[in-house]
Amino acid sequence: MSDDNSELSARQRDEARAALQRDLPFALSPSGSFPSPEGGPDLLATSDIVVEAQQIAAVARYLRASLNYIYLSNITAVDLLAHGCFELVYHFYRLSGGPALTIKTRLPREKPELPSLTPFWPGAAFQEREAYDLFGIVFKGHPDLRRIYMWDEFEGFPMRKDFVRQGDKYLSE
């Protein structure tokens, strides 16, 4: 069962990649735009579709309009500190069923800015606010980008890997 699902997932991914290659070739991200650290595992290696961050809105609208991925299920962020980038992961579904389509995009840690999807998917508002609250990722065009979990007075972005470590167990360092 899971094999069928992963096959279906791979087929969906390849179809979407081919469609993007055909219609939005400038949006696909060339591999190796962020350097991998020496010796460590290459966390950027992936079989998922990786797109240019500034084109994410165009890609998402294309997926909805032309490929029928009308349900944006999830937006989340990963802090790849050693690679100097944030990775944003978007999951899209078709309402007719089938596995999720995963779209990834990478941002430099120094200036994590990319277009918001909230003007097109109002349901993205809270998830983008969460990524802003915990990772400090700025979604340009978001109508109401403020903290959602932490209080407004809070300083810093606690899910970043370089956020100050807390608690008794670090005291001996």
Question: Shortest gap between Cβ of 102 and other proteins (angstroms)?
Answer: 14
Q: 122: how many CB neighbours lie within 10 A of its CB? A: 10
SS3 124: helix
Identify which of residues 40 and 97 has a Cβ nearer to other proteins in the complex.
40
Per CB under 8 A, does 168 bind other proteins? yes
Which of 32, 41 has the CB closer to other proteins? 41
Q: How far is the CB of 155 from other proteins (least distance, A)?
A: 4
| Encoded tokens for 152 | 């407004």
Looking only at residues 26 through 85 of this chain, which bind other proteins when binding is defined by CB under 8 A?
A: 40-43, 45, 47
* Choices 61-69, 70-78, 115-123, 156-164; region in contact with other proteins by CB under 8 A: 156-164
Give residue for tokens 């179809």.
15
**The one-letter amino acid at 131:** A
Beta partners for residue 113, in sequence order: 138
Phi/psi of residue 71, nearest 5 degrees: -110, 110
Both structure tokens of 92: 């899209």
Instruction: Summarize as ranges the residues that interact with other proteins (CB under 8 A).
Output: 40-43, 45, 47, 149-155, 158, 163-173
